[in-house]
């Protein structure tokens, strides 16, 4: 007995082929728009599909177009980064955009100096393309994907002009915020940051340096610390720059800033009276801190969404821009007010 609800027919490619007296291959070609098929036959198939409200499922479309309808989002091995708001929001942007286009997102983890997990995904044909989350110096994944001819988009920046990149205007943003602080009359600005192999940290550092150089403000090496990979190193650097007379501590990301604030809380220093603080990335915790923190605001979800759209356009054979730079906002708050 046929229990199909009236007005709704659960048909598949085989049913369409039998009803029209054509092969399943012909139906697949009509749906995918690929392969040799007459215009009259294509129109007949598409009219039947429209009349019967047929919507091919992902598997059927994949078979018809040689696509998996999966994309891989490649994350670095240090999971602590993905506990942070920026990472979660940008991943959300990728996922929401992919889902709207009937794609699923596969998470791939890049281990340092080991691309075997990525190689297995590529060789087993599990995905149609990759989105890379940021880039590091001498990144082995990028040349591998280029060699294999696998479409990918970098959510970040790198020096290889062949790579399709989507990033915020990191250097310009950091230069603008640093310039504003210097023009306020703050001369002894300390800079604390993480791993300089990460391109985002290099861009932010360059922005800081450009601002200092343009205004003729000499950079004090005793006030600049990079490679701060854990809370102990960050606290030690904060103590050193305060001891060396820093008037303001600029943090290259919100992770560093959170640890700097924890250190200051343990001291007798007050923000902004004794020491000012700013961050090259904003998040809700910094906005809601006891003294709201001056920061750069980037739309992380937009970054993920645009990167995903670029990859999907690339997979569909559409022209894409090779580098998109998204905007930013400088948000001045209590932590850098003059007292």
Instruction: Quote the longest CA-to-CA distance of the chain.
Output: 85
Convert the pLDDT of each residue in 158-184 to its tens digit: 888 899 999 999 999 999 999 999 999
> What is the C-alpha separation between 87 and 81, in angstroms, rounded?
7
Element housing 154 (H / E)? strand 152-155
DSSP 107: E
Convert the pLDDT of each residue in 104-114 to its tens digit: 999 888 776 78
> What is the C-alpha separation between 339 and 337, in angstroms, rounded?
6
Residue 258 DSSP SS3? helix
* CATH class name, domain 170-297+330-336: alpha beta
Convert the pLDDT of each residue in 263-312 to its tens digit: 999 998 999 999 999 999 998 889 999 999 999 999 999 999 999 999 99
The answer to whether the Cα torsion of 190, 196, 200, 205 is positive or negative is: positive
What's residue 7's pLDDT? 44
Cβ(152)–Cβ(108) under 8 Å? no
Cβ(281)–Cβ(86) under 8 Å? yes
Cβ(133)–Cβ(74) under 8 Å? yes
Residue 105 DSSP SS3? strand
C-alpha to C-alpha distances, 22 to 19, 49, 51, 264, nearest whole angstrom = 8, 14, 17, 75
Residue 338 phi/psi, 5-degree rounding, is -75, 140
- For the chain, percent helix, then strand, then coil, each to nearest 5? 45, 15, 35
What's residue 65's pLDDT? 52
Q: Does the model's pTM come out above 0.75?
A: yes
pLDDT of residue 88 exceeding 90, the answer is no
Residue 298 DSSP SS3? coil
Residue 290 DSSP SS3? coil
Domains 13-65 and 70-168+301-328 belong to one CATH topology: no
Query: For domain 13-65, which CATH number applies: 1.10.260.40, 3.40.630.30, 1.10.101.10, 1.10.287.3510?
Result: 1.10.260.40
CATH architecture of 70-168+301-328: 3-Layer(aba) Sandwich (3.40)
Nearest C-alpha neighbor of 34 from the set 70, 63, 11: 63
Convert the pLDDT of each residue in 222-244 to its tens digit: 999 999 989 999 999 999 999 99
> What is the C-alpha separation between 66 and 14, in angstroms, rounded?
18
Strands laid side by side in the 152-155 sheet: 104-110, 70-76, 129-133, 152-155, 165-168, 323-326
Nearest C-alpha neighbor of 134 from the set 52, 195, 68: 195
What residue ranges do the domains of the chain occupy? 13-65, 70-168+301-328, 170-297+330-336
Cβ(115)–Cβ(144) under 8 Å? yes
Query: Can you spell out the DSSP letters for 306-319?
Result: HHHHHHHHHHTT--
Phi-psi region of 138 (alpha: psi -120 to 50; beta: other; left: phi over 0): left
Nearest C-alpha neighbor of 168 from the set 326, 331, 329: 326
pLDDT of residue 47 exceeding 90, the answer is no
Q: How many CB atoms are located within 10 Å of the residue 146 CB?
A: 13
């Amino acid at each position: 007995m046929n229990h199909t609800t009236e007005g709704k027919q659960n048909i598949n490619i085989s049913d369409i082929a039998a009803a029209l007296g054509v092969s399943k291959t012909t139906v697949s070609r009509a749906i995918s728009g690929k392969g040799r098929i007459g215009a009259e036959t294509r129109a007949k198939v598409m009219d039947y599909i429209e009349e019967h409200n047929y919507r091919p499922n992902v598997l059927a479309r994949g078979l018809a177009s040689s696509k998996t309808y999966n994309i891989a989002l490649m994350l670095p091995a240090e999971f602590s980064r993905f506990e942070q708001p920026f990472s979660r929001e940008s991943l959300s942007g990728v996922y929401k955009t992919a889902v709207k286009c009937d794609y699923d997102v596969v998470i791939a983890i890049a281990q340092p100096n080991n691309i075997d997990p990525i190689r297995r995904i590529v060789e087993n044909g599990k995905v149609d393309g990759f989105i890379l989350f940021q880039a590091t110096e001498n990144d082995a994944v990028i040349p591998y994907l280029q060699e294999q001819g696998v479409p990918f988009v970098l959510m970040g920046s790198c020096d290889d002009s062949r790579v399709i990149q989507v990033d915020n205007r990191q250097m310009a943003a950091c230069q603008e915020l640093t310039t504003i602080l210097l023009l306020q009359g703050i001369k002894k600005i300390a800079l604390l940051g993480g791993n300089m192999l990460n391109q985002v940290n290099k861009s932010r550092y360059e922005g800081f340096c450009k601002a200092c150089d343009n205004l003729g403000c000499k950079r004090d090496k005793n006030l600049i610390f990079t490679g701060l990979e854990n809370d102990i190193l960050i606290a030690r650097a904060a103590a050193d720059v305060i001891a060396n007379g820093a008037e303001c501590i600029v943090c290259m990301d919100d992770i560093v800033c959170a640890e700097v604030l924890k250190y200051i809380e343990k001291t007798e220093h007050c923000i902004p009276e004794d020491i000012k603080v700013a961050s090259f990335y904003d998040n809700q915790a910094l906005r809601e801190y006891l003294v709201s923190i001056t920061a750069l605001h980037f739309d992380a979800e937009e970054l993920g969404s645009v990167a995903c759209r670029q990859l999907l356009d690339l997979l569909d054979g559409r022209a894409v821009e090779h580098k998109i730079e998204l905007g930013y906002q400088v948000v001045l708050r209590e932590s850098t007010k003059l007292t």
